[in-house]
């Protein structure tokens, strides 16, 4: 047995909200993210219907905040993205918006990984003839962004304070506290998000 001071475990959350037959199980494992702190990676699973969802939550409560980073080259693609299901992600130059919803997942990645997730989501739209032209142009621009050949901005906002951008370069990420009004406005958009089970 490996000894560790990191928390990990399982919990039963009662009947699955989707199928009402199976039992919803939560497993969690602690992870230390340099520049962010400790967080719990959460996996919700139902063996009855196969539902599975990932999320994360910081061990210590954090203030609702907005993070902004300008990506100017390959090196910047390493900027870390901690995204909880309550996180709003925007890349204005690419027209990308990721909003919390019922299928919202939490993950830890970097900007490169975030773009790969966007590419994967966009690729599922392929085959829709009407959208094909603009989708092709979008995927080409995304590819350039993934190669570090496109300057763009990544913005992460979280009314619960669970999401963040983290860079090893001091001053690279701009952080701003969300006002009570801003946080409340975003919080109202969180309906149906997985953290309701917490």
Among residues 49, 74, 137, 140, which is the contact residue for Zn ion, using CB under 5 A?
49
CA atoms within 13 A on the CB side of 50: 0
Q: Does 48 bind Zn ion (CB under 5 A)?
A: yes
Interface stretch with Zn ion, choices 48-56, 69-77, 80-88, 101-109 (CB under 5 A): 48-56
Q: Does 46 bind Zn ion (CB under 5 A)?
A: yes
Mapping DSSP to helix (H, G, I), strand (E, B) and coil, where does residue 109 land? strand
Closest contact distance (angstroms) between CB of 125 and Zn ion is 27
Q: Does 77 bind Zn ion (CB under 5 A)?
A: no
Selection from 179, 108, 118, 106 nearest residue 143 by Cα: 118
Site size with Zn ion, rule: CB under 5 A: 8
Q: Does 16 bind Zn ion (CB under 5 A)?
A: yes
Other Cβ atoms less than 10 A from the Cβ of 103: the count is 10
Helices 129-146 & 111-123, crossing angle to 10 degrees?
Answer: 160
Name the residues that contact Zn ion, by CB under 5 A.
Answer: 16, 18-19, 22, 46, 48-49, 51
């Amino acid at each position: 047995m490996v000894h560790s001071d990191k928390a990990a475990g399982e919990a039963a959350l009662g009947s699955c909200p989707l199928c009402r037959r199976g039992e919803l199980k939560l497993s969690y494992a602690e992870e230390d993210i340099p520049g962010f702190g400790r967080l719990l990676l959460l996996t919700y699973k139902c063996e009855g219907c196969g539902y599975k969802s990932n999320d994360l939550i910081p061990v210590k409560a954090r203030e609702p905040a907005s993070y902004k980073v300008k990506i100017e080259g390959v090196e910047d693609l390493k900027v870390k993205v901690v995204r909880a299901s309550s996180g709003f992600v925007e890349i204005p130059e690419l027209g990308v918006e990721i909003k919390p919803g019922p299928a919202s997942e939490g993950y830890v990645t970097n900007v490169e990984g975030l773009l790969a997730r966007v590419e994967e989501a966009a690729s599922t739209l392929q085959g829709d003839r009407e959208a094909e032209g603009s989708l092709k142009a979008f995927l080409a621009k995304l590819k350039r962004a993934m190669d570090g050949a496109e300057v763009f901005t990544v913005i992460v906002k979280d009314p619960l304070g669970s999401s963040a951008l983290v860079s090893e370069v001091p001053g690279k990420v701009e952080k701003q506290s969300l006002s009570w009004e801003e946080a409340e406005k975003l919080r109202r958009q969180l309906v149906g998000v997985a953290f309701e089970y917490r």
